[in-house]
Chains A and B, each alone.
Chain A
């Protein structure tokens, strides 16, 4: 059975309350969970530059080979940061963090922008101050350990540390985004369910159904009895009351 656009709209209109209900429930549930039950998560980050400290910055002195080597080193450093050697040092040097090596490895996220000498270390935690302490500790230990790990090269500098006193906004949950995603997903699910129910509906509804399945003519299609169908008798009843009142008035 081929359906045109009108038929699709008809199906959706027929199940409009189902669709609205599903979308409303999904959005409300997501909103309630996001606003009330999900703990806010804060992110603190530090930026590290991979660059020899004794390099002087001058247009005529820039060594492109060194820069390219530093850029390539970043990928190596990204892996080194998350090794047990670095994280064990952080755990030993900062017992106040109350974190194990594996927990630290999980928390620390390292990223870099292509073709730059800058690396970003980021840590998420329910407390911004703690996130800042963790990311600063990892950055410092990494800076200190690199010369002993990597052929005595001391080319790591901390561009900026995370300030634990900053009044940072939570990065998670993104309430608006969660509700928006919930809206879109629930709408798709509701539409799908509406069409599925229509597909599974094998009841007789139209003259075409009667002709197709019963091979009989439809002699009449009787609509539901509405208020307007009962209107005449109600009007008559009202008229009788009015006439009665008039008679009563006339007698007086």
Chain B
């Protein structure tokens, strides 16, 4: 299947040997081992503000899971400024908003991506009441239904400080990942995100620090090691 050419590359798919790809595989492993008793299958990603790399992290993490022979679904639950359909070069005419409003069945809006084992549910048309839609019983029922068809479900949500959508979705998932842009998010903002999520008894898995400067050279060993192996 041909890989789409887009401005937000899914490094884990396009260059699996890069240090960044390895970082996402490490993230996948850390999530898997963050719970001993029960398997974490529905993961939500949020951040304090916009442009911190939630969608990029979500798509790359989804690919990392798909590469480990798991059937993965990415749900774009950002019903205000959806971006996932751009990442995977798909239409946004039908999606989550159609399912939650009862216009479509989940199967009708889920699309196959260019990555093997990876599927996408776009956000669909932007509704006038996103928070209410995400809080609805239909949303809960839909997630329960999708759990039967997919091994891992990754949900991309709006920033936690901007709107309540992330808090609403957090009550319906197995774990929450907070994405923090390196050197951009103030301590108070990050603490507020955590407090907001704790308020709804969300289970927080941990933090992903994004856009870290590469000056310390972490990950280069893998990069060169990987290159040596491929040369052989």
Contacts and interface: CB of A to CB of B under 8 A. Distances in A.
9 contacts: A216-B194, A217-B206, A219-B27, A219-B34, A220-B24, A222-B211, A225-B11, A229-B21, A232-B15
A231 interface: yes
B20 A217 contact: no
Nearest to B57: A222
Interface in A139-176: none
A213 B23 contact: no
Contacts of A217: 30, 34, 206-207
B191 A213 contact: yes
A226 B15 CA distance: 12
B185 A232 contact: no
Nearest to A205: B183
B194 A220 contact: no
Interface of A: 201-207, 209-210, 213-214, 216-226, 228-233
Interface in B14-29: 14-21, 23-24, 26-27
Interface of B: 3, 9, 11, 14-21, 23-24, 26-27, 30-31, 34, 53, 57, 177-178, 180, 182-188, 190-191, 194, 204-214, 218-219, 223
Contact of B20 (A205, A222, A233): A222
In the A-B complex, the 8 residue pairs with the smallest Cβ-Cβ separation, listed nearest first, are A220-B27, A232-B15, A219-B206, A217-B206, A219-B30, A229-B18, A223-B214, A233-B14
Contacts of B27: 219-220, 222
Contact of A223 (B185, B186, B206, B213): B213
Given A203-B185, A223-B219, A232 B210 contact: no
Contacts of A207: 209
B210 A222 contact: yes
Give the interface SS of chain A, mostly helix, strand, loop or mixed: mixed
Given A205-B182, A214-B190, A225-B11, A219 B213 contact: no
Contacts of B194: 214, 216
A246 to B, nearest CB: 21
Given A205-B182, A232-B17, A220 B26 contact: yes
B199 to A, nearest CB: 15
B23 A221 contact: yes
A213 B16 CA distance: 33
Instruction: Point out which of B182, B194, B207 has the most chain A C-beta atoms below 10 A from its C-beta.
Output: B207
A100 B189 CA distance: 68
A229 B186 contact: no
A97 to B, nearest CB: 65
A224 B30 CA distance: 20
B24 A224 contact: no
Contacts of B205: 219
B5 to A, nearest CB: 9
Given A210-B180, A223-B219, A229-B11, A218 B209 contact: yes
Given A203-B183, A220-B30, A233-B14, A213 B190 contact: yes
